[in-house]
Amino acid sequence: MKTQVCIIGGGPSGLMLSQLLHLKGIDNIVLEKHSREYVLSRIRAGVLEHGFAKLMREAQCGERMDREGEIHEGFFIAHQGRLNRVDLHRFSGGNSVVVYGQTEITRDLYDARDRMKGVVIHNAEDVQPHELTSDRPYVTYRQGDDIVRIDCDFVIGADGFHGVSRKSIPKTVLKEYEKVYPFGWLGVLSRTKPVSPELIYAKHDRGFALCSLRSQVLSRYYIQVPLTDTVEQWSDDAFWAELKRRLPDEVSQQMITGPSIEKSIAPLRSFVAEPMRYGQLFLAGDAAHIVPPTGARGLNSAASDIYYLYHALVAHYQQKDSSGLDNYSAKALARVWKAQRFSWWMTSLLHTFPEAIDYDKKLQEVDLAYLFSSEAAQSSLAENYVGLPF
């Protein structure tokens, strides 16, 4: 097979780029390791910045998001039994975020690819990029007993943190920065009315908790747990009891509980790989960088990579201008690191660190006190949470 751009990974990054390039007449193929059902069963992001929403509309995939997604102009931080509201709208110059699940985003992108007869190959095994530093790169994969070869101009590594793309960059070229946190988030999805119309991030001595949602009938809750905990150890009853303990009484008294329809533990990690380009291979999204979910930045950082890559590829094909491709890594990384800083800060502010000394705990307290006494501090939080400009 032959195509212009071979995209490895059929998550939101790969599908979004595929759709945008298709609309500009740039031929591409997406190779996805898993089945569509498997990709759609993963419950991940819930909060989208307006830049991401704009890109969805540009990809002609924003209709359902605009109809069913909820605009949120603020969220709460709960601490010492009180709720403090962060007014995103006021402190970010009128911006907001959209609450719409990653599962729905991915479903909308798959539907658009189907509608336009885009090529998305599922269950592609042993995907491997080759000859990345030549001008004739290619990608192979196995389907049953057959090895299929795709010749292309560019390979896009949008295959997430555990994908093959980043691993095909020589260790002598790649520099990896990583910070692993000593805890994870236990997440529960339940068909119940959310306890609050806006998100609540809770700081508590027993550990962080988050009340989020997917719609007014679908709640998403998280609690911080030690890395040694397993999902099997947490019955639904134990989860609800622990979540309520970490919330102010006025919130926990309103909590409607019900059976979990999904329960999983995600470890928290910060990670950046530099550079994001190797020859004709370009990394995008979680393949190149991961943040702890506290600042809701992961998918949104992927969106800025896709935005830069999309414009760079269009300039390359339509105007024979490769400067966007040449500058991609530096430009993407500049924004990526800002999202890293913000996510690290939100995580440090709101979690209980097992190794923290009294001094660290005092600093956390004063950081929160400062936040709610200073409009400048709230503006800084708000402008990062709604998303820095692309």
Binding residues vs ligand RFL (CB under 6 A): 8-14, 31-34, 39, 44-47, 102, 124, 127, 158-160, 162-164, 185, 187, 266, 285-286, 293, 296-300, 302
Of the listed pieces 39-47, 247-255, 303-311, 348-356, which binds ligand PHB according to CB under 6 A?
39-47
Of the listed pieces 9-17, 41-49, 81-89, 238-246, which binds ligand PHB according to CB under 6 A?
41-49
Nearer to ligand PHB, 45 or 150 (CB): 45
Nearer to ligand RFL, 176 or 250 (CB): 176
CB of 386 to ligand RFL, least distance (A): 12
- The whole-angstrom separation of Cα 151 and Cα 248 is 58
Half-sphere exposure of 312 (CA within 13 A, CB side): 24
Q: Does residue 347 interact with ligand PHB by CB under 6 A?
A: no
CB of 101 to ligand PHB, least distance (A): 8
Nearer to ligand RFL, 14 or 324 (CB): 14
Q: Does residue 224 interact with ligand PHB by CB under 6 A?
A: no
- The whole-angstrom separation of Cα 328 and Cα 308 is 7
Q: Does residue 212 interact with ligand PHB by CB under 6 A?
A: yes
CB of 172 to ligand RFL, least distance (A): 22
CB of 39 to ligand PHB, least distance (A): 17
CB of 142 to ligand RFL, least distance (A): 11
Which of ligand PHB, ligand RFL, none sits in contact with 220, Cβ below 5 to 8 A by type? ligand PHB
Binding residue for ligand PHB, selected from 203, 220, 246, 351, defined by CB under 6 A: 220
CB of 5 to ligand PHB, least distance (A): 30
Q: Give me the 83-102 binding string for ligand PHB, x by CB under 6 A, dash otherwise.
A: --------------------
Cα-Cα-Cα-Cα torsion 166, 172, 177, 180, nearest 10 degrees, comes to 70
Which of ligand PHB, ligand RFL, none sits in contact with 33, Cβ below 5 to 8 A by type? ligand RFL
- Token pair, residue 312, equals 């760079």
Cβ–Cβ contacts within 10 Å for residue 247, how many?
A: 23
Q: Does residue 21 interact with ligand PHB by CB under 6 A?
A: no
Tell me the β-bridge partners of 270: 179
Q: Give me the 176-205 binding string for ligand PHB, x by CB under 6 A, dash otherwise.
A: -----------------------x------
Q: Which of residues 249-308 bind ligand PHB (CB under 6 A)?
A: 293-294, 296
C-alpha torsion sign, points 321, 327, 332, 334:
negative
Q: What are phi and psi of 249, to 5 degrees?
A: -55, -40
Size of the site for ligand PHB (CB under 6 A): 9
- Interface residues with ligand PHB (CB under 6 A) are 45-47, 199, 212, 220, 293-294, 296
